[in-house]
A and B are shown apart, each in its own frame.
Chain A
Amino acid sequence: DGGITQSPKYLFRKEGQNVTLSCEQNLNHDAMYWYRQDPGQGLRLIYYSQIVNDFQKGDIAEGYSVSREKKESFPLTVTSAQKNPTAFYLCASSIPSGMGGELFFGEGSRLTVL
């Protein structure tokens, strides 16, 4: 069954703790993305990666880190430096096409900081 799998779906964290959200895809897509979705603010880009071992900051990268060691995987770490981490996080992938191919999204991970 092809697609993008995010885990966990729900995650609770205490303040001061780092947490890592998993994103795996078996679509053989080169590009992967992390977005944050907040009510009334739409989707904001955190990080994206067009190829293995390379990634770029998006619009709200502060307090987050990523790695892209494998084509299939693009984990996102929410660090204790992120001031307002409670949010819904969406991972996506696409075939790079120069000006934006179709993005395929995961089901999302909801992080709540207690």
Chain B
Amino acid sequence: AQRVTQPEKLLSVFKGAPVELKCNYSYSGSPELFWYVQYSRQRLQLLLRHISRESIKGFTADLNKGETSFHLKKPFAQEEDSAMYYCALSTSADKLIFGTGTRLQVFP
């Protein structure tokens, strides 16, 4: 079965602390993974995708096929990073499966 698991509903850190939002997936094919973010009063939007191997707003995510994980990391959290983060898995036929989301709170 295709599934995305985000074990943490809420992650609270202080400004400047490292952040890691966990994401594990279940998929028998070759996965394509994404992180989407929803800031307060804004639309859900793409943050980054594994195929791009890029860093967006200081965030990075590495696909680990052995551990079936795609954790999102940032070395120094900022208050403006506070948002809802969703990990998503793309299967064939352009279908995106989302995890349940993790709310990141960054305190000053």
Do A48 and B46 touch across chains, with their CB atoms under 8 A apart? no
Bitwise interface map of B from 30 to 74 toward A, beta carbon under 8 Å scored 1, else 0: 001010100000011110010000000000000000000000000
Do B43 and A100 touch across chains, with their CB atoms under 8 A apart? no
The answer to whether residues A99 and B92 also contact, given A42-B98, A43-B86 and a CB cut-off of 8 A, is: yes
The answer to whether residues A101 and B94 also contact, given A40-B9, A42-B86, A43-B86 and a CB cut-off of 8 A, is: yes
A43 to B44, CA, bound (A): 11
Contacts of B95 in A (CB 8 A): 45, 48, 58, 100
Contacts of A58 in B (CB 8 A): 95
Give the residue of A59, A90, A98, A99 whose beta carbon is less than 8 angstroms from that of B44: A90
Do A50 and B43 touch across chains, with their CB atoms under 8 A apart? no
Nearest to B43 among chain A residues (CB) is A105
Bitwise interface map of A from 96 to 114 toward B, beta carbon under 8 Å scored 1, else 0: 1111111111110000000
Within 8 A of A (CB), among B70-108: 86, 90-101
Bitwise interface map of A from 37 to 53 toward B, beta carbon under 8 Å scored 1, else 0: 00011111100101000
A97 to B92, CA, bound (A): 10
Interface size on B, residues (CB 8 A): 23
Interface size on A, residues (CB 8 A): 29
Do B98 and A43 touch across chains, with their CB atoms under 8 A apart? yes
Do A105 and B100 touch across chains, with their CB atoms under 8 A apart? no
Give the residue of B36, B43, B86, B96 whose beta carbon is less than 8 angstroms from that of A106: B43
List 19 additional contacts besides A33-B96, A104-B45; criterion CB under 8 Å. A31-B94, A40-B100, A42-B100, A43-B44, A43-B86, A48-B94, A50-B94, A59-B97, A94-B94, A97-B94, A99-B90, A100-B90, A100-B91, A100-B95, A103-B46, A103-B96, A105-B43, A105-B45, A107-B43
Name 18 interchain pairs, CB-CB below 8 A, sorted by A.
Answer: A33-B96, A35-B98, A40-B100, A42-B6, A43-B44, A43-B86, A44-B98, A45-B95, A48-B95, A50-B93, A59-B97, A92-B44, A96-B94, A100-B32, A100-B95, A102-B34, A103-B96, A104-B45
